Amino acid sequence: MINDVENNDWFRGSFITLEIRGGYCGSAFIFSGRKVRTRGDSQCEETESTMKFSRAFNAASVLFVLLLITIVTAKKSGDVTELQIGVKFKPKSCELKAHKGDRVSVHYSGKLTDGTVFDSSYERNDPIEFELGSGQVIKGWDQGLLGMCVGEKRKLKIPAKLGYGESGSPPKIPGGATLVFDTELVAVNGKKSAADSEL
């Protein structure tokens, strides 16, 4: 018994399923319209090479998809869901610390996780001043700079929910972006050292 499966009118790149005498024979991926002939009495022998190619192609497709997923995951691997604080430098003497309500002066460099710098007070040689914990800056800063010593340097990785959220801050900061800040506390309430507080 010979069963012919015609796919000349099918869309190029279609999958077909071959059945012989009511039993499953296999699936094949069709690149162009052609006839696939199978013999029921030889258990799909004529389609064996087609099936082998199909299995090899399917395996390659799965590997390709996994590779794409890996690339996308790697690209997003710098993102965080919670605030991360890393101390890069801390002076031996820490007599002046930043507390909620203090007016602080901070140098910073802000980057996206891919390394793109979107702002830097170092380039302007002009540290930013604000009242800590009062909402004058993003929440990641209000939380990440608490307890910082004058002269201390911290690296803050700030999730979008503590940064600019899903809307971002166009054009430099996209929505949902994790922000990376290198920060340095320059002064607290106008004082740069313990000696200043004694004056």
Q: Is 71 a catalytic residue?
A: no
What are the phi and psi torsion angles at 46 (to 5°)? -70, -20
12 in Cβ contact with 31 (< 8 Å): yes
Q: 132 φ, ψ to 5°?
A: -70, 130
C-alpha 69/C-alpha 25 separation (Å) is: 32
- Is 57 part of the annotated catalytic residue set? no
Q: What is the pLDDT of residue 163?
A: 98
What one-character DSSP code corresponds to residue 191? B
Catalytic member of 108, 158, 173, 182: 108
Helix (H/G/I), strand (E/B), else coil: 45? helix
**In the chain, where does DSSP find H-type helix?**
48-76, 121-124, 139-144, 194-198
User: Which residues are bridge partners to 16 per DSSP?
Assistant: 28
CA pseudo-torsion sign 159, 162, 164, 168: positive
CATH code assigned at 91: 3.10.50.40
Q: Is the whole-model pTM more than 0.85?
A: no
Tell me whether residue 181 is one of the annotated catalytic residues: yes
Among the options 142, 173, 181, 182, which is catalytic?
181
| Ranges in the chain, pLDDT < 50 | 1-16, 18-20, 28-39, 41, 43, 46-47, 74-75
Report whether 155 contacts 86 (CB < 8 A): yes
30 within domain boundaries: no
Domain that holds residue 144: 82-190
Angstrom CA distances, 158 to 4, 79, 87, 113, stand at 62, 9, 14, 10
What's the number of domains the chain is made of?
Answer: 1
User: Catalytic: which of 20, 142, 158, 164?
Assistant: 164
Confidence (pLDDT) at 105: 98
Position 138 in a domain? yes
Active site residue 164: yes
41, 1 contact by CB (below 8 A)? yes
Catalytic residue (one of 16, 29, 119, 128): 119
CA distances from 82 to 30, 157, 159, 173, 180 (A): 48, 8, 6, 18, 12
Check residue 57 and give its pLDDT: 56
- Catalytic residue from among 30, 138, 158, 173: 138
Examine residue 16 and state whether it is found in any structural domain, yes or no: no
Q: Which of 118, 128, 130, 196 is catalytic?
A: 118
Question: Would 162 be classed as within a structural domain?
Answer: yes
Query: Is 53 one of the annotated active-site residues of the chain?
Result: no
Q: Is 36 part of any domain?
A: no
Annotation marks residue 108 as catalytic: yes
Measured at the CA of 127, the angle between CA 94 and CA 177, to 5 degrees, comes to: 100
Tens-place pLDDT, residues 178-187: 999 999 999 9
- Residue 127 is predicted with a pLDDT of 98
User: What pLDDT shows up at residue 60?
Assistant: 72
30-74: pLDDT as tens digits: 444 444 444 454 545 544 555 555 555 566 777 776 666 655 554
